[in-house]
Amino acid sequence: MRNVLRFILRYRILLTLLLLQVSGLYLTYRSSPMHESFYWSRVLGAQAEWNQTRDGWKAYFLLETTNEELQAENARLRAQLSQPAARPINAVDSNQFVWVSGQVIYGTSHLLNNILLLNRGRADGVEPGQGVLSPTGVLGVVSDVNEHFAKVTSLLHAESRISGTVARTGFFGTVVWSGGASNLVDYIDLPIEAQVTVGDTIVTDARSALFPSGWPIGVVVQVESDSSLFTQSAVLEVWGSISRQQPAYIVKNVLEEVQNSLLSQ
């Protein structure tokens, strides 16, 4: 017993370092945030409030860009409204989604696993697993919520997988991110016959239950073909910036349970 105590006293500094490292690892790799308790939801709330206070001043400098983007979106929507004959082909699935508008209040883009924070939470009907869009593209998927804030797994996260389709030809692929520049994402798993070319627009597809189809993701800036695997991959440039303060739409698929119940019968 005395020897154990002596050992602890002798190596107390190294042991403290190891303890700190292990707790850091635990905090970094702790399991799915969806199973996290009340405690982490409280921490998220405190973090979000601090971010909001700290980053508030930045929003003023971005107001002009934000306004222009919203005006452009309004113009697009008005144009659609004024042409009742030309109903969008995805009219069914646009009724299938409930939209909650909010604001990105914090975001990182320099890490390999980036996150965003939104100022909408459970009180506004936001739940983990819902998709998040910006006026100009896709932001990510909600991973954690508390009463008033939501944490989003950004499109710029190594584990993010979002399906997208080539607007011109309709082939399916997957949008992933593997680090590097924060305006470039990879588009993989394309069949070789997809014949993607530089300048093609990639949009969300109906295959994913997360997003309404036809929402823009990015534009192809580089294509690579692998003839041995019969696949193509491409690099997409996203519009706007993902990790800045901007308006965000959280979309909820109201027919998700109906779809699932049909599948399970």
Residue 237's SS3 state is strand
Contact flag: residue 23 with other proteins (CB under 8 A): yes
State the sign of the Cα–Cα–Cα–Cα dihedral 83, 88, 89, 95. Answer: negative
Residues 246, 207 contacting (CB under 8 angstroms): no
CA angle 206, 253, 174 (to 5 degrees): 35
Contact flag: residue 16 with other proteins (CB under 8 A): yes
Residues 112, 179 contacting (CB under 8 angstroms): yes
Single residue of 36, 49, 51, 189 touching other proteins by CB under 8 A? 51
Single residue of 8, 10, 11, 24 touching other proteins by CB under 8 A? 24
Single residue of 1, 31, 37, 110 touching other proteins by CB under 8 A? 110
Q: Scanning the structure block, which residue is given the tokens 């008005």?
A: 78
| DSSP code at position 225 | E
Single residue of 104, 105, 115, 217 touching other proteins by CB under 8 A? 115
Residues 62, 240 contacting (CB under 8 angstroms): no
Torsional class of 242: left (φ above 0), alpha (ψ -120 to 50), beta (otherwise): alpha
Single residue of 52, 103, 109, 201 touching other proteins by CB under 8 A? 109
Single residue of 181, 192, 254, 258 touching other proteins by CB under 8 A? 181
**Identity (one letter) of the amino acid at 156?**
L
Stretch that binds other proteins, among 7-15, 165-173, 219-227, 247-255 (CB under 8 A): 7-15
Contact flag: residue 10 with other proteins (CB under 8 A): no
Stretch that binds other proteins, among 6-14, 75-83, 188-196, 206-214 (CB under 8 A): 6-14
Contact flag: residue 30 with other proteins (CB under 8 A): yes
What are the residues binding other proteins (CB under 8 A)? 12-14, 16-17, 20-21, 23-30, 43, 46-47, 50-51, 54-55, 58, 106, 108-113, 115, 117, 151, 178-182, 243
